[in-house]
Structure formats: C-alpha cells, structure tokens
C-alpha cells in the first residue's frame, strides 16, 4: 500500500517548477490579482529553490495566506500535542503485534541509525506523525516553502493568515483511527522514500495530473478520506480566500495536492466566477 507516503505527499508536496503550481487569480470584481501556489511540507535542502518568478510574485503581494497560521504561541502549540500523542500510558507497541514492533524498532534504530532517545520519544506519537518524522529523518536537512514564505512575510512586515486552525487540521488527521494508522505505517515501512521520490518526480515533471491520478489510485483514496482530508477542507478555504483577495493582493500557499480536481481549489474558485490561470 502506498498509504502514508501518499497521504503525506498528496497534501504537502510541490516542485521547483511552475506551470501548474503557480496560478493567478483575477476577475469577479477584485481590484488586484492574487496568486495561488502549491507548496511542499519537506524537501531536501539541496533541492530547495525559489526561482525569480516565484520570488517576485510573492514580493508583489501585500498579504500571505497559508493553510495554518505558523505564528501561534508556544502555549498554543503545546496545547495541540494532545492530538498528536497516543493515549496516556500507550506507545506504538500497544498497536502493533510483537513481531511488527520488533521490525519497526529495528528499522528505526538499526537501519535508519535513529538514536534510542529519539525513538523512545517518537514511539509515543500517533502513527501518522511517526511516519512524518521517519520521512524527515531520512531526508536529512530539509526546507519547506511554508516556513520560507512565513519568514519572508515577517521580514517584509506584511500580515500572514491561516485558512484553518491547527486544531482543525489535527482533528482531520485524527478521523483516521490509530489502528488504521498503525496498519498503514507498517505497510509502508521501508518503501516510504521510494514513494516519496516517485511523487516528487511527478512534480519535477510538472505533472499535476499525474499526482491527482496517483492519489485517486491509492488504497487510501476512500470516499471518507477524500471528503474529509481534501474536499471539505478545500470547500472551507474558499470563503476565507475570497475575504482575503477582496481586501488586498494576497499570496496563497497551500499543499499542491489541494489544487487539482473537480473539488480542488482551482476549480472551486473558477466556479465562484474567478479567472484562475497558470503562471509559466
């Protein structure tokens, strides 16, 4: 099963190419065009590039909108931990068979050379978040466009907004049961990097349709997952996006997996009467 890696990359992956990743929003009465860009959650540092077209487009905007506001307080961040950790007194060992746990521990410590202290800490996380850490651990030094744009917005002293709260995003992740998360974690163990680079390659080929097809063919592409994790969130974002682009020229950066499809952000904005055109 492609499971977790598809889940992680489908909503957070991007590319250093444009074409189908950077889009101009205009029309429908807004005074200035705004822009929509597909981001990546984590990319190897040596592959992280911000091209002049992307940089100049961002610099022309007067506000930034990300999926969530990255500037929440430490107290708020700590409050979100309850959604990420397993129930008190539990570890991944409680959700895996004895043989699976031995395999999982050996993979982390022996194959990935993860320190035992780090393993013991992330062993308390829900499998979805454990899988995310595994991916980042293997990528080594990473960068992310969300963090980049957020820091640049601070430097420029322009406002930064979240289209949804961190709490809502984490609650959406938790619509997948811990047992199902554990099952998917084990089924993707050892293949996560292959799947990650496969998805990355689709974007390096500027193949947004390819990503959409891969997502649709994934065993995770259940009606419930698609509706909760993609479609409903996209629908929720449209009124928030409209408020922002009506007010000022806004740069909107969301996971590129949210862009394509009948219920993707691009089509939903078009249905509202906006012109959404690829910037090449």
Q: How confident is the model at residue 5 (pLDDT cuts 50, 70, 90)?
A: very low
Stretch among 49-53, 178-182, 272-276 having the lowest mean pLDDT: 49-53
**To which residue do tokens 């961040």 refer?**
77
Taking CA atoms, 107 is separated from 101, 119, 184, 246, in Å, by 10, 11, 15, 50
Q: Smallest Cα–Cα separation from 145: which of 26, 274, 253? A: 253
Q: Is the dihedral of CA 233, 239, 244, 246 positive or negative?
A: positive
200 compared with 21, residue with greater pLDDT: 21
Coil, strand or helix at 79? helix
- Report how far residue 268's alpha carbon sits from residue 265's, in angstroms, rounded to the nearest whole number: 5
d(CA 89, CA 102): 19
Res 204: pLDDT = 65
pLDDT one-digit tens code per residue, 117-148: 989 988 999 998 888 888 888 888 888 889 99
**In the chain, what is the straight-line distance between the N-terminal and C-terminal CA atoms, in Å?**
35
- Residue listed under structure tokens 């992740």: 173
CA distance 253 to 147: 11
Structure tokens at 200: 């990355």
Query: Above 70 in pLDDT, residue 17?
Result: no
pLDDT at residue number 165 = 94
Give per-residue pLDDT as tens, 209-260.
777 777 666 655 566 777 888 899 999 999 999 999 999 999 999 988 899 8
d(CA 15, CA 18): 8
Question: In the predicted model, what is the mean pLDDT of the chain?
Answer: 85
For residue 3, name the pLDDT band (cuts at 50, 70, 90): very low
């Amino acid at each position: 099963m492609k499971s977790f890696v598809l889940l992680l990359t489908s909503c957070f992956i991007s590319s250093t190419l444009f074409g189908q990743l950077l889009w101009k929003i205009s029309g429908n009465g807004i005074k200035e065009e705004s822009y929509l860009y597909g981001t990546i959650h984590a990319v190897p540092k040596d592959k992280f590039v911000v091209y002049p077209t992307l940089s100049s487009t961002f610099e022309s905007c007067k506000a930034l909108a990300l999926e969530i506001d990255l500037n929440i307080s430490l107290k708020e961040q700590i409050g979100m931990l309850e959604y990420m950790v397993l129930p008190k007194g539990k570890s991944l060992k409680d959700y895996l068979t004895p043989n699976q746990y031995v395999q999982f521990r050996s993979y982390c410590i022996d194959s990935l050379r993860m320190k035992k202290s780090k393993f013991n800490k992330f062993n308390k996380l829900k499998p979805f978040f454990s899988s995310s850490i595994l991916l980042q651990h293997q990528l080594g030094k990473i960068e992310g466009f969300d963090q980049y744009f957020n820091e640049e917005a601070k430097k420029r002293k322009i406002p930064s907004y979240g289209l949804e709260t961190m709490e809502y995003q984490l609650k959406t992740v938790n619509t997948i049961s811990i047992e199902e998360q554990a099952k998917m974690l084990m089924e993707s163990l050892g293949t996560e990097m292959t799947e990650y680079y496969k998805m990355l390659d689709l974007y390096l080929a500027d193949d947004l349709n390819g990503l959409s097809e891969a997502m649709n063919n994934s065993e995770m592409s259940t009606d419930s997952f698609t509706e909760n994790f993609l479609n409903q969130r996209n629908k929720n974002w449209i009124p928030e996006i409209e408020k922002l682009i009506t007010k000022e020229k806004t740069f909107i950066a969301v996971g590129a997996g949210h862009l394509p499809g009948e219920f993707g952000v691009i089509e939903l904005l078009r249905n509202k009467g906006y012109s959404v055109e690829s910037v090449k």
